[in-house]
Amino acid sequence: MIAIPAIDIMDASCVRLVKGRFDQQMTYDKSPLDTARAIEAAGITHLHLVDLDGARQGKPVNLPVLETLSKETSLRIDYGGGIRSMESIRKILEAGAEKVNLGTFLFSDPDIPKRCIDKFGADQLIAAVDIDEGRVAVKGWQQSTETDTHTAIEALLKAGWRYLSVTDISRDGTMQGPDPDFYRPLVKTWPEARFIGGGGVASMKDLELLKSCGLYAAVTGKAIFEGKISLKDLSQFNYPP
């Protein structure tokens, strides 16, 4: 399993939200570039970069941050937040992202998942399936849809998607630990998918638990900034299954 550290950007600073709520924000006194350099120095290869300004505004805002990190480090960056068009996907890839995380845009029209795959290919895209009480949440997790988890994943795989980042919103940013019963059924039902998990990770034990679920990768953010997991320890999870 690959462990992927997350940097959430708001107002050019590293922040973390609790359960995706903008009114529950913690700002950390570290620049995105300094944080990314520390991640790279620890021997970690991947980075999950979240544009929270973009998620709130409905368009990518922090592409200059992405460009800087991609030029100044060798990290393999996946970028998400506020992506609502094919043009935004193109700009993000041109700015240096290896993969683009798409959530709200995917669920705005049933034809979009297939169109994205046809244009950019499965290896450059990650479907962000963010779950709130069994339903897909969109628009920066501020709105729930009527689409359930099973329906969403089935449709994406049928359209050719390979990487799916499935987040349990109820645990994100809480450091309460992940729920293995949330992920194990997904891996068992769709073994062909590369599932990326996250939400609530607070310790190396939590990462081991997610690894035991058969996930391709796991994302953690707050636990790193809070000093619960060191980058050195995180680097132990640096290889795909």
Active site residues: 8, 130
Where would I find the H helices in 5-123? Answer: 32-41, 52-57, 63-72, 86-94, 112-120
User: For residues 194 and 2, is the Cβ–Cβ distance under 8 A?
Assistant: no
H/E element, 80: strand 76-80
CA neighbor of 141 nearest in space, from 20, 50, 18: 20
- Residue 20: CB partners within 8 Å, gap ≥ 6? 130, 137, 140, 141, 142, 169, 172, 173
